[in-house]
Amino acid sequence: MQETNLSEVLSSIKSSKSIIIVPGYGMATSRCHFIVGSLAKELRARGIDCRFCIHPVAGRLPGHMNVLLAEANVPYNYVHEMEKINKDFPRTDLVLVVGANDIVNPDAIENPNSVLAGMPVCEVWNAKKVIAMKRSKGKGYAAIENSLFYKPNCKMFFGDAKQKLIEILNELTKESGPMATTIQEETRIEIFEEDQTNEEDMSSYLSQTIHEIGIPKESLEGEKRVSITPTIARKLIKIGFRIKIEKGAGELAGFADGQYERAGCSIVNTQDLWENTEIIVKVRPPMENKKLGYHEANSLQKTDLLISYIYPGQNSEILKMLAENKPNLNVLALDCTPRITRAQKLDTLSSTTNLAGYRYFSETFHKNYFFKQF
């Protein structure tokens, strides 16, 4: 392995007209995706054609890298799927590999005896120069050596990715002042925000509502999730929504009714929520509801939009019930979100969080103001 240093990395970046960044699981573990996003924007501002190459299974789950970059507000036109951009590596001056290993291993193509043989990979070795950022010389998930790291056009930039990227950005932006403080603050942003709804009187927002959202308590026994948290409810109210939540809907997820009330939500009973709400947002597909005494699909009297996991292939009977009882109902099946870059803001299945991803949906949902188009 040929090791490089900050000075050489900066020289390579400044002399490049085209750069492709390939993120991997290491970007997720170091929580440096905000910095990676800032670097991409800085390179673009310098006139460098900077893009991302996304391997479909990089990280813990398909779409992991897309979700992180979406969280860091990386523009969609920066991000490209591997099969679309692989052909561009031979025309690329520099590739920055950030925390990736097996997904950039040439053995998948060049070594028929490798355990990776036949696996599609990001063909970064075809670029003029590669800089691989890794914490150490350790192996990847497949527990094999990566021949990329020994190729003559590849150099290793060892260390903590977050710190190394901050150093790179500070040097690139010296003319406008160090960025490290700003970036380090950004990386503290968490999907799960602390509930601060008692710090502001929400009454002034409630007279400006556009549509009404209902948050039901999940009917399935043992289901602990809630579709919208108090923090996100507060943000939705501030952009023009009235929110009703079924009494006790957030308790198993750790949110008391009082937190929702401080956020500006109305606590209502089961029947009122299901029969008198314009938009229903829930985790599970509609099912038999003991409190209602009948199926939830039969209770959407005033509902125009249902957002949930539907799993149409498994729940054709539920779809039939919805169609028969409410022919003009719009249904957004979150489980059918396509595995493409532009859809990642609605992707809850490959969230980087530990709790099923639905809070991530809530967190990103208001950023797109999806409901404003409704």
Q: In this structure, what CATH number is given to the domain that contains residue 73?
A: 3.40.50.1220
Tokens of 205: 């927002």
Which pTM value belongs to this model? Answer: 0.53
Considering the domain architecture, whether residues 171 and 261 belong to the same structural domain is answered as no
- Quote the percentage of the chain above a pLDDT of 70: 81
Considering the domain architecture, whether residues 70 and 181 belong to the same structural domain is answered as yes
| Residue with more model confidence, 363 or 264 | 264
Tokens of 93: 């001056």
Write the pLDDT tens digit of every residue in 159-182: 988 889 989 988 888 744 444 333
Residue 192 lies in a domain: no
Residue 1 lies in a domain: no
The pLDDT, as a whole number, for residue 114 is 86
The pLDDT, as a whole number, for residue 260 is 92
**Identity of residue 40:** A
Considering the domain architecture, whether residues 70 and 108 belong to the same structural domain is answered as yes
Tokens of 35: 């910095």
Average pLDDT, integer, range 211-221: 92
Write the pLDDT tens digit of every residue in 69-93: 988 888 888 999 999 999 999 999 9
Considering the domain architecture, whether residues 169 and 214 belong to the same structural domain is answered as no
Considering the domain architecture, whether residues 203 and 124 belong to the same structural domain is answered as no
Which among 143, 165, 186 is the end of a domain?
186
H or E element: which one contains 53?
Answer: strand 49-54
Residue with tokens 């959202």: 213
Considering the domain architecture, whether residues 229 and 208 belong to the same structural domain is answered as yes
Q: Is the pLDDT of residue 29 over 80?
A: yes
Look at the alpha carbons of 61, 66, 68, 70 in this order and tell me if their dihedral is positive or negative. Answer: negative
Write the pLDDT tens digit of every residue in 90-118: 999 999 999 999 999 999 999 998 888 88
Residue 114: partners with Cβ closer than 8 Å, 6 or more residues away = 105, 107, 108, 144
Average pLDDT, integer, range 39-50: 92
Considering the domain architecture, whether residues 233 and 104 belong to the same structural domain is answered as no
Average pLDDT, integer, range 217-232: 90
Residue 320 lies in a domain: yes
CATH number for the domain harbouring residue 243: 3.40.50.720
How many domains does the chain divide into?
Answer: 2
Q: Quick one: pLDDT band at residue 43, thresholds 50, 70, 90? A: very high
Residue 97 lies in a domain: yes
Write the pLDDT tens digit of every residue in 177-213: 444 333 333 333 333 333 444 456 666 666 665 789 9
Average pLDDT, integer, range 250-270: 90
**CB-hemisphere CA count at 13 Å for 232?**
25
Look at the alpha carbons of 9, 12, 15, 17 in this order and tell me if their dihedral is positive or negative. Answer: negative
Q: Is the pLDDT of residue 330 over 80?
A: yes
The pLDDT, as a whole number, for residue 371 is 42
Which among 186, 205, 237 is the end of a domain?
186
Residue 173 lies in a domain: yes
| Residue with more model confidence, 108 or 348 | 108
Which among 128, 160, 186 is the end of a domain?
186
Strand order in the sheet with 94-98: 79-81, 49-54, 18-23, 94-98, 130-134, 154-158
Considering the domain architecture, whether residues 230 and 176 belong to the same structural domain is answered as no
Write the pLDDT tens digit of every residue in 263-289: 999 999 999 999 899 999 999 999 999
Considering the domain architecture, whether residues 95 and 147 belong to the same structural domain is answered as yes
Instruction: Find the domain containing 346 and state its range.
Output: 197-373
Considering the domain architecture, whether residues 282 and 177 belong to the same structural domain is answered as no
Residue 191 lies in a domain: no
Mean pLDDT of the chain: 82
| Residue with more model confidence, 352 or 87 | 87
Write the pLDDT tens digit of every residue in 131-153: 999 988 777 776 788 999 999 99
Considering the domain architecture, whether residues 213 and 344 belong to the same structural domain is answered as yes
Q: Quick one: pLDDT band at residue 238, thresholds 50, 70, 90? A: confident
Considering the domain architecture, whether residues 182 and 204 belong to the same structural domain is answered as no
